[in-house]
Homo-oligomer: A and B are copies of this chain.
Protein backbone atom coordinates (compact mmCIF):
# COMPACT_ATOMS: atom_id res chain seq x y z
CA UNK A 1 0.00 0.00 0.00
CA UNK A 2 1.99 2.96 -1.25
CA UNK A 3 0.09 6.23 -1.45
CA UNK A 4 -0.08 8.22 -4.65
CA UNK A 5 2.10 10.91 -3.12
CA UNK A 6 4.69 8.35 -2.05
CA UNK A 7 4.73 6.91 -5.58
CA UNK A 8 5.12 10.37 -7.08
CA UNK A 9 7.96 11.14 -4.68
CA UNK A 10 9.68 7.85 -5.44
CA UNK A 11 9.46 8.55 -9.17
CA UNK A 12 10.81 12.06 -8.68
CA UNK A 13 13.71 10.86 -6.57
CA UNK A 14 14.56 7.88 -8.73
CA UNK A 15 14.41 9.15 -12.30
CA UNK A 16 17.76 8.88 -14.10
CA UNK A 17 18.70 10.77 -17.24
CA UNK A 18 19.11 7.40 -18.98
CA UNK A 19 15.47 6.57 -18.24
CA UNK A 20 14.16 9.53 -20.18
CA UNK A 21 13.23 8.76 -23.82
CA UNK A 22 15.20 10.72 -26.40
CA UNK A 23 12.20 12.71 -27.70
CA UNK A 24 11.49 13.86 -24.14
CA UNK A 25 15.12 14.91 -23.68
CA UNK A 26 14.87 16.81 -26.92
CA UNK A 27 11.63 18.45 -25.75
CA UNK A 28 13.08 19.56 -22.39
CA UNK A 29 15.97 21.15 -24.32
CA UNK A 30 13.41 23.00 -26.46
CA UNK A 31 11.57 24.09 -23.34
CA UNK A 32 14.81 25.24 -21.67
CA UNK A 33 15.80 27.48 -24.57
CA UNK A 34 12.24 28.76 -24.89
CA UNK A 35 12.25 29.58 -21.16
CA UNK A 36 15.60 31.35 -21.37
CA UNK A 37 14.11 33.84 -23.83
CA UNK A 38 11.28 34.54 -21.41
CA UNK A 39 13.68 35.01 -18.51
CA UNK A 40 15.70 37.59 -20.44
CA UNK A 41 12.42 39.22 -21.45
CA UNK A 42 11.85 40.13 -17.82
CA UNK A 43 14.64 42.73 -17.94
CA UNK A 44 13.27 46.23 -17.43
CA UNK A 45 9.84 45.12 -16.28
CA UNK A 46 8.93 47.15 -13.19
CA UNK A 47 7.52 44.30 -11.07
CA UNK A 48 10.44 42.06 -12.01
CA UNK A 49 13.02 44.71 -11.25
CA UNK A 50 11.28 45.38 -7.93
CA UNK A 51 11.41 41.75 -6.82
CA UNK A 52 15.01 41.53 -8.03
CA UNK A 53 15.98 44.60 -6.01
CA UNK A 54 14.45 42.97 -2.94
CA UNK A 55 16.27 39.69 -3.57
CA UNK A 56 19.55 41.51 -4.01
CA UNK A 57 19.04 43.73 -0.98
CA UNK A 58 18.32 40.72 1.21
CA UNK A 59 20.92 38.36 -0.22
CA UNK A 60 24.67 38.47 -0.52
CA UNK A 61 26.18 40.35 -3.46
CA UNK A 62 28.34 37.36 -4.34
CA UNK A 63 27.35 33.81 -4.97
CA UNK A 64 27.28 30.94 -7.40
CA UNK A 65 23.94 31.67 -9.05
CA UNK A 66 23.14 34.08 -11.85
CA UNK A 67 20.48 36.77 -11.78
CA UNK A 68 19.62 36.64 -15.44
CA UNK A 69 18.13 40.10 -15.95
CA UNK A 70 21.24 41.92 -14.78
CA UNK A 71 24.11 39.44 -14.68
CA UNK A 72 24.74 39.78 -10.97
CA UNK A 73 25.38 36.81 -8.67
CA UNK A 74 23.85 35.67 -5.42
CA UNK A 75 22.77 32.49 -3.61
CA UNK A 76 20.48 30.00 -5.40
CA UNK A 77 17.47 30.87 -3.23
CA UNK A 78 17.47 34.54 -4.15
CA UNK A 79 18.52 33.95 -7.76
CA UNK A 80 15.62 31.53 -8.17
CA UNK A 81 13.28 34.15 -6.72
CA UNK A 82 14.46 36.86 -9.13
CA UNK A 83 14.60 34.65 -12.21
CA UNK A 84 11.17 33.15 -11.61
CA UNK A 85 9.74 36.65 -11.28
CA UNK A 86 11.35 37.48 -14.63
CA UNK A 87 10.21 34.46 -16.61
CA UNK A 88 6.45 34.90 -16.65
CA UNK A 89 5.96 38.61 -17.17
CA UNK A 90 6.14 38.60 -20.96
CA UNK A 91 3.43 35.91 -21.01
CA UNK A 92 5.52 34.03 -23.55
CA UNK A 93 6.57 31.08 -21.44
CA UNK A 94 5.23 27.59 -21.98
CA UNK A 95 2.00 26.00 -20.78
CA UNK A 96 0.68 22.51 -20.21
CA UNK A 97 -2.89 22.48 -21.42
CA UNK A 98 -4.32 19.71 -19.28
CA UNK A 99 -3.16 21.22 -16.02
CA UNK A 100 -3.40 24.89 -17.05
CA UNK A 101 0.04 25.16 -15.56
CA UNK A 102 3.11 27.08 -16.77
CA UNK A 103 6.01 24.80 -15.85
CA UNK A 104 9.05 26.64 -17.20
CA UNK A 105 8.81 29.73 -15.01
CA UNK A 106 8.75 27.71 -11.78
CA UNK A 107 10.98 24.78 -12.78
CA UNK A 108 13.96 26.24 -14.65
CA UNK A 109 14.78 29.22 -12.38
CA UNK A 110 15.32 27.10 -9.27
CA UNK A 111 16.83 24.20 -11.23
CA UNK A 112 19.35 26.42 -13.03
CA UNK A 113 20.23 28.38 -9.88
CA UNK A 114 20.86 25.19 -7.91
CA UNK A 115 22.70 23.48 -10.78
CA UNK A 116 25.02 26.51 -10.88
CA UNK A 117 25.51 26.32 -7.11
CA UNK A 118 26.26 22.59 -7.15
CA UNK A 119 28.27 22.54 -10.34
CA UNK A 120 25.83 19.99 -11.74
CA UNK A 121 26.14 18.77 -15.31
CA UNK A 122 23.84 19.75 -18.14
CA UNK A 123 22.32 16.28 -18.11
CA UNK A 124 21.62 16.56 -14.40
CA UNK A 125 19.89 19.87 -15.04
CA UNK A 126 17.78 18.35 -17.80
CA UNK A 127 16.78 15.32 -15.74
CA UNK A 128 15.87 17.49 -12.75
CA UNK A 129 13.83 19.73 -15.02
CA UNK A 130 11.89 16.78 -16.40
CA UNK A 131 11.17 15.76 -12.80
CA UNK A 132 9.85 19.25 -12.09
CA UNK A 133 7.60 19.15 -15.15
CA UNK A 134 6.26 15.65 -14.47
CA UNK A 135 5.47 16.42 -10.84
CA UNK A 136 4.08 19.92 -11.32
CA UNK A 137 1.84 18.95 -14.21
CA UNK A 138 0.40 15.98 -12.32
CA UNK A 139 -0.22 18.12 -9.24
CA UNK A 140 -1.97 20.69 -11.41
CA UNK A 141 -4.13 18.00 -13.01
CA UNK A 142 -4.90 16.56 -9.59
CA UNK A 143 -6.03 19.92 -8.17
CA UNK A 144 -8.46 20.31 -11.04
CA UNK A 145 -10.64 23.01 -12.46
CA UNK A 146 -12.29 24.05 -9.21
CA UNK A 147 -8.83 24.93 -7.90
CA UNK A 148 -7.97 26.98 -10.95
CA UNK A 149 -11.15 29.02 -10.61
CA UNK A 150 -9.65 30.77 -7.57
CA UNK A 151 -6.00 29.76 -7.40
CA UNK A 152 -3.19 30.44 -9.83
CA UNK A 153 -2.07 26.86 -10.44
CA UNK A 154 1.36 27.99 -11.61
CA UNK A 155 1.90 29.44 -8.14
CA UNK A 156 0.41 26.55 -6.21
CA UNK A 157 1.42 23.41 -8.12
CA UNK A 158 4.55 25.34 -9.05
CA UNK A 159 5.82 25.22 -5.49
CA UNK A 160 5.85 21.42 -5.63
CA UNK A 161 7.34 21.42 -9.13
CA UNK A 162 10.21 23.59 -7.92
CA UNK A 163 10.75 21.39 -4.87
CA UNK A 164 10.85 18.25 -7.02
CA UNK A 165 13.35 19.67 -9.51
CA UNK A 166 15.65 21.01 -6.81
CA UNK A 167 15.21 17.86 -4.75
CA UNK A 168 16.41 15.79 -7.71
CA UNK A 169 19.51 17.94 -8.07
CA UNK A 170 20.20 17.61 -4.35
CA UNK A 171 19.92 13.83 -4.62
CA UNK A 172 17.03 13.42 -2.21
CA UNK A 173 15.92 9.86 -1.63
CA UNK A 174 12.23 8.95 -1.98
CA UNK A 175 11.39 9.67 1.63
CA UNK A 176 13.20 13.01 1.64
CA UNK A 177 11.44 13.89 -1.61
CA UNK A 178 8.09 13.21 0.01
CA UNK A 179 9.07 15.50 2.87
CA UNK A 180 10.07 18.17 0.35
CA UNK A 181 6.69 17.89 -1.33
CA UNK A 182 5.03 18.18 2.07
CA UNK A 183 6.92 21.37 2.90
CA UNK A 184 6.24 22.77 -0.55
CA UNK A 185 2.54 21.99 -0.48
CA UNK A 186 2.03 23.64 2.87
CA UNK A 187 3.55 26.85 1.45
CA UNK A 188 1.58 26.62 -1.76
CA UNK A 189 -0.21 29.88 -2.58
CA UNK A 190 -1.46 32.24 -5.27
CA UNK A 191 -4.90 33.79 -5.84
CA UNK A 192 -6.35 35.21 -9.06
CA UNK A 193 -7.83 38.21 -7.26
CA UNK A 194 -4.98 40.44 -8.45
CA UNK A 195 -6.37 40.38 -11.99
CA UNK A 196 -9.29 42.57 -11.01
CA UNK A 197 -7.02 45.56 -10.34
CA UNK A 198 -4.21 44.59 -12.69
CA UNK A 199 -1.83 44.20 -9.77
CA UNK A 200 1.70 42.82 -10.01
CA UNK A 201 1.05 39.55 -8.17
CA UNK A 202 1.70 37.15 -11.03
CA UNK A 203 5.42 37.83 -10.78
CA UNK A 204 5.25 37.38 -7.04
CA UNK A 205 3.48 34.03 -7.46
CA UNK A 206 6.22 32.55 -9.60
CA UNK A 207 8.96 34.06 -7.44
CA UNK A 208 7.29 32.64 -4.36
CA UNK A 209 6.78 29.19 -5.87
CA UNK A 210 10.40 28.93 -7.00
CA UNK A 211 11.85 30.19 -3.73
CA UNK A 212 9.54 28.26 -1.40
CA UNK A 213 9.94 25.08 -3.42
CA UNK A 214 13.72 25.39 -3.44
CA UNK A 215 13.69 25.99 0.30
CA UNK A 216 11.54 22.90 0.84
CA UNK A 217 14.04 20.70 -0.97
CA UNK A 218 17.06 22.13 0.87
CA UNK A 219 15.27 21.66 4.20
CA UNK A 220 14.41 18.05 3.34
CA UNK A 221 18.05 17.39 2.48
CA UNK A 222 18.91 18.63 5.97
CA UNK A 223 16.37 16.39 7.73
CA UNK A 224 13.33 18.65 7.91
CA UNK A 225 10.09 16.72 7.60
CA UNK A 226 6.85 17.61 5.84
CA UNK A 227 3.36 16.17 5.80
CA UNK A 228 3.35 12.72 4.22
CA UNK A 229 0.04 13.30 2.47
CA UNK A 230 0.02 17.00 1.72
CA UNK A 231 -1.97 16.44 -1.47
CA UNK A 232 -4.63 13.93 -0.49
CA UNK A 233 -4.71 14.13 3.31
CA UNK A 234 -7.77 15.15 5.30
CA UNK A 235 -6.28 18.59 5.96
CA UNK A 236 -4.19 18.79 2.82
CA UNK A 237 -4.22 20.79 -0.38
CA UNK A 238 -7.17 19.09 -2.08
CA UNK A 239 -9.45 19.48 0.93
CA UNK A 240 -8.39 23.08 1.45
CA UNK A 241 -8.10 24.30 -2.12
CA UNK A 242 -10.15 22.14 -4.49
CA UNK A 243 -13.54 20.50 -4.75
CA UNK A 244 -12.86 18.18 -7.70
CA UNK A 245 -9.41 16.77 -7.02
CA UNK A 246 -8.67 13.52 -8.85
CA UNK A 247 -6.11 11.38 -6.99
CA UNK A 248 -5.48 9.10 -9.96
CA UNK A 249 -3.89 11.99 -11.83
CA UNK A 250 -0.96 12.11 -9.41
CA UNK A 251 0.45 8.86 -10.71
CA UNK A 252 -1.04 8.79 -14.18
CA UNK A 253 1.45 6.94 -16.35
CA UNK A 254 4.50 7.70 -14.22
CA UNK A 255 7.54 6.73 -16.28
CA UNK A 256 5.53 5.88 -19.39
CA UNK A 257 3.42 8.96 -20.07
CA UNK A 258 5.73 11.97 -20.38
CA UNK A 259 3.77 15.09 -19.48
CA UNK A 260 6.84 17.13 -20.37
CA UNK A 261 6.28 16.26 -24.03
CA UNK A 262 2.67 17.46 -23.85
CA UNK A 263 3.75 21.00 -23.01
CA UNK A 264 2.89 23.78 -25.45
CA UNK A 265 4.90 26.78 -26.56
CA UNK A 266 3.24 30.16 -26.60
CA UNK A 267 2.87 31.98 -29.84
CA UNK A 268 0.81 35.02 -28.86
CA UNK A 269 2.09 37.20 -25.99
CA UNK A 270 -1.12 36.92 -24.03
CA UNK A 271 -2.93 34.73 -21.56
CA UNK A 272 -3.20 31.26 -23.03
CA UNK A 273 -6.97 31.30 -22.65
CA UNK A 274 -7.12 33.79 -25.53
CA UNK A 275 -5.05 31.75 -28.01
CA UNK A 276 -7.55 29.25 -29.41
CA UNK A 277 -10.08 31.98 -30.23
CA UNK A 278 -7.34 34.19 -31.66
CA UNK A 279 -6.17 31.41 -33.98
CA UNK A 280 -9.76 30.63 -34.95
CA UNK A 281 -10.39 34.28 -35.80
CA UNK A 282 -7.21 34.35 -37.90
CA UNK A 283 -8.44 31.27 -39.69
CA UNK A 284 -11.80 32.92 -40.56
CA UNK A 285 -10.13 36.12 -41.69
CA UNK A 286 -7.53 34.37 -43.84
CA UNK A 287 -10.07 31.95 -45.34
CA UNK A 288 -12.49 34.74 -46.21
CA UNK A 289 -10.02 37.50 -46.95
CA UNK A 290 -11.40 39.75 -44.22
CA UNK A 291 -9.81 42.94 -42.92
CA UNK A 292 -10.29 44.63 -39.54
CA UNK A 293 -13.02 46.91 -40.87
CA UNK A 294 -15.03 43.94 -42.12
CA UNK A 295 -15.68 42.73 -38.58
CA UNK A 296 -18.95 43.86 -37.02
CA UNK A 297 -19.11 41.37 -34.19
CA UNK A 298 -17.09 38.43 -32.89
CA UNK A 299 -18.47 35.85 -30.50
CA UNK A 300 -15.81 33.56 -29.03
CA UNK A 301 -17.07 30.15 -27.90
CA UNK A 302 -15.03 29.29 -24.88
CA UNK A 303 -14.63 27.09 -21.81
CA UNK A 304 -15.66 28.24 -18.34
CA UNK A 305 -12.04 28.76 -17.27
CA UNK A 306 -11.61 31.43 -19.91
CA UNK A 307 -14.69 33.25 -18.64
CA UNK A 308 -13.44 33.00 -15.06
CA UNK A 309 -10.01 34.41 -15.82
CA UNK A 310 -10.77 36.82 -18.65
CA UNK A 311 -14.31 37.81 -17.73
CA UNK A 312 -13.38 40.44 -15.14
CA UNK A 313 -11.15 42.29 -17.63
CA UNK A 314 -13.53 44.48 -19.63
CA UNK A 315 -11.62 47.72 -20.12
CA UNK A 316 -7.94 47.02 -19.54
CA UNK A 317 -5.89 49.97 -18.41
CA UNK A 318 -2.41 48.43 -18.49
CA UNK A 319 -0.49 46.37 -21.02
CA UNK A 320 -0.42 43.49 -18.61
CA UNK A 321 -4.15 43.57 -18.02
CA UNK A 322 -4.79 43.78 -21.76
CA UNK A 323 -3.18 40.37 -22.15
CA UNK A 324 -6.17 39.04 -20.24
CA UNK A 325 -8.66 40.92 -22.42
CA UNK A 326 -10.11 38.62 -25.08
CA UNK A 327 -11.27 41.63 -27.08
CA UNK A 328 -7.86 43.30 -27.05
CA UNK A 329 -6.04 40.14 -28.09
CA UNK A 330 -8.43 39.50 -30.97
CA UNK A 331 -8.21 43.12 -32.06
CA UNK A 332 -4.41 42.94 -32.21
CA UNK A 333 -4.52 39.64 -34.08
CA UNK A 334 -7.03 41.05 -36.54
CA UNK A 335 -4.74 44.01 -37.22
CA UNK A 336 -1.34 42.34 -37.27
CA UNK A 337 -1.83 38.60 -37.77
CA UNK A 338 -0.32 37.96 -34.35
CA UNK A 339 -0.27 39.56 -30.92
CA UNK A 340 3.35 39.93 -29.89
CA UNK A 341 4.99 42.02 -27.18
CA UNK A 342 5.63 44.87 -29.60
CA UNK A 343 2.01 44.92 -30.74
CA UNK A 344 0.73 44.94 -27.17
CA UNK A 345 2.99 47.77 -26.06
CA UNK A 346 2.22 49.94 -29.06
CA UNK A 347 -1.46 49.27 -29.72
CA UNK A 348 -3.25 47.87 -26.70
CA UNK A 349 -5.21 51.09 -26.25
CA UNK A 350 -5.25 52.39 -29.82
CA UNK A 351 -8.56 53.58 -31.18
CA UNK A 352 -8.75 50.69 -33.65
CA UNK A 353 -7.98 48.15 -30.96
CA UNK A 354 -10.60 49.55 -28.63
CA UNK A 355 -13.19 49.64 -31.39
CA UNK A 356 -12.92 45.94 -32.15
CA UNK A 357 -12.30 45.02 -28.53
CA UNK A 358 -15.78 46.19 -27.60
CA UNK A 359 -17.33 44.07 -30.35
CA UNK A 360 -15.91 40.84 -28.94
CA UNK A 361 -17.85 38.73 -26.46
CA UNK A 362 -17.36 35.35 -24.83
CA UNK A 363 -19.99 32.62 -24.66
CA UNK A 364 -19.70 29.33 -22.85
CA UNK A 365 -19.53 26.46 -25.34
CA UNK A 366 -20.37 22.92 -24.28
CA UNK A 367 -18.00 21.19 -26.71
CA UNK A 368 -15.06 23.48 -25.95
CA UNK A 369 -15.73 23.29 -22.25
CA UNK A 370 -15.89 19.52 -22.10
CA UNK A 371 -12.75 19.10 -24.22
CA UNK A 372 -10.90 21.51 -21.93
CA UNK A 373 -8.35 21.33 -20.38
CA UNK A 374 -7.09 18.36 -22.37
CA UNK A 375 -7.73 20.07 -25.68
CA UNK A 376 -7.98 23.80 -26.22
CA UNK A 377 -10.40 24.09 -29.14
CA UNK A 378 -10.86 27.54 -30.66
CA UNK A 379 -14.28 28.51 -32.05
CA UNK A 380 -15.55 31.90 -33.15
CA UNK A 381 -18.63 33.22 -34.89
CA UNK A 382 -17.90 36.33 -36.91
CA UNK A 383 -20.56 38.69 -38.18
CA UNK A 384 -19.26 40.89 -40.98
CA UNK A 385 -20.28 44.46 -41.66
CA UNK A 386 -22.05 43.25 -44.79
CA UNK A 387 -24.14 40.82 -42.78
CA UNK A 388 -22.43 37.47 -43.31
CA UNK A 389 -22.16 35.07 -40.38
CA UNK A 390 -18.94 33.03 -40.54
CA UNK A 391 -17.70 30.25 -38.31
CA UNK A 392 -14.05 29.58 -37.52
CA UNK A 393 -12.43 26.70 -35.74
CA UNK A 394 -8.99 25.39 -34.81
CA UNK A 395 -8.47 22.09 -33.07
CA UNK A 396 -4.91 22.68 -31.99
CA UNK A 397 -3.50 26.18 -31.63
CA UNK A 398 0.00 27.05 -32.86
CA UNK A 399 2.61 25.91 -30.34
CA UNK A 400 0.72 22.82 -29.18
CA UNK A 401 2.55 19.49 -29.52
CA UNK A 402 0.81 18.63 -32.78
CA UNK A 403 1.51 22.10 -34.19
CA UNK A 404 4.77 22.85 -32.44
CA UNK A 405 7.60 25.34 -32.97
CA UNK A 406 10.81 24.30 -34.71
CA UNK A 407 14.19 24.89 -33.05
CA UNK A 408 14.68 27.76 -35.47
CA UNK A 409 11.35 29.27 -34.41
CA UNK A 410 12.30 28.82 -30.74
CA UNK A 411 15.66 30.48 -31.34
CA UNK A 412 14.05 33.36 -33.21
CA UNK A 413 11.48 33.81 -30.49
CA UNK A 414 14.21 33.96 -27.81
CA UNK A 415 16.19 36.50 -29.82
CA UNK A 416 13.06 38.64 -30.32
CA UNK A 417 12.31 38.52 -26.60
CA UNK A 418 15.84 39.63 -25.72
CA UNK A 419 15.69 42.41 -28.28
CA UNK A 420 12.32 43.56 -27.00
CA UNK A 421 13.45 43.81 -23.38
CA UNK A 422 17.01 44.87 -24.05
CA UNK A 423 18.05 42.25 -21.53
CA UNK A 424 20.92 41.04 -23.70
CA UNK A 425 22.79 42.40 -26.70
CA UNK A 426 21.81 40.55 -29.89
CA UNK A 427 25.19 38.91 -30.39
CA UNK A 428 25.47 37.84 -26.75
CA UNK A 429 21.98 36.42 -26.81
CA UNK A 430 22.68 34.50 -29.99
CA UNK A 431 25.84 33.03 -28.49
CA UNK A 432 24.02 32.11 -25.30
CA UNK A 433 21.17 30.44 -27.15
CA UNK A 434 23.58 28.56 -29.41
CA UNK A 435 25.47 27.35 -26.37
CA UNK A 436 22.29 26.41 -24.53
CA UNK A 437 21.23 24.09 -27.33
CA UNK A 438 24.34 22.09 -26.35
CA UNK A 439 23.43 21.91 -22.68
CA UNK A 440 23.40 18.10 -22.64
CA UNK A 441 27.16 18.15 -23.27
CA UNK A 442 28.01 20.63 -20.48
CA UNK A 443 30.10 19.11 -17.69
CA UNK A 444 29.02 21.93 -15.41
CA UNK A 445 26.17 24.41 -15.66
CA UNK A 446 27.66 27.88 -15.59
CA UNK A 447 26.20 31.30 -16.37
CA UNK A 448 23.65 31.15 -19.17
CA UNK A 449 24.15 34.68 -20.39
CA UNK A 450 27.77 35.11 -21.29
Contacts and interface: CB of A to CB of B under 8 A. Distances in A.
Interface of A: 46-47, 50-51, 53-54, 57-61, 75-78, 149-151, 155, 179, 182-183, 185-201, 204-205, 208, 212, 215, 218-219, 222-230, 233-237, 239-241, 308, 312
A199 B75 CA distance: 27
**A-B pairs, 9 with minimum CB distance:** A58-B77, A192-B235, A150-B240, A193-B227, A60-B60, A193-B236, A193-B233, A194-B227, A189-B189
A204 B219 contact: yes
A195 B235 contact: yes
A227 B312 CA distance: 13
A320 to B, nearest CB: 10
Contact of A230 (B77, B186, B191, B235): B191
Contact of A196 (B197, B201, B229): B229
A75 B75 CA distance: 14
A223 B187 CA distance: 25
Contacts of A186: 155, 189-191, 193-194, 201, 204-205
Given A188-B189, A191-B235, 8 more contacts: A54-B218, A150-B240, A183-B204, A185-B193, A194-B226, A196-B228, A196-B229, A199-B225
Contacts of A205: 186
A227 B47 contact: no
Given A60-B60, A183-B201, A46 B223 contact: yes
26 contacts: A46-B223, A47-B225, A50-B223, A50-B224, A57-B218, A58-B77, A150-B235, A150-B239, A150-B240, A182-B193, A182-B199, A182-B201, A183-B204, A187-B208, A191-B227, A193-B229, A193-B234, A193-B235, A194-B226, A196-B229, A197-B227, A198-B225, A201-B226, A204-B226, A208-B212, A240-B241
Nearest to A80: B58
B191 A189 contact: no
A58 B46 contact: no
A53 B223 CA distance: 12
Q: Which among A59, A187, A195, A222 has the highest number of chain B CB atoms within 10 Å?
A: A187
Contact of A224 (B76, B187, B200, B233): B200
Contacts of A218: 54, 57
Contacts of A77: 54, 58
Given A227-B196, A227-B197, A236 B191 contact: yes
A78 B75 CA distance: 13
Contacts of A54: 77, 215, 218-219, 222
Q: Which among A59, A212, A222, A227 has the highest number of chain B CB atoms within 10 Å?
A: A227
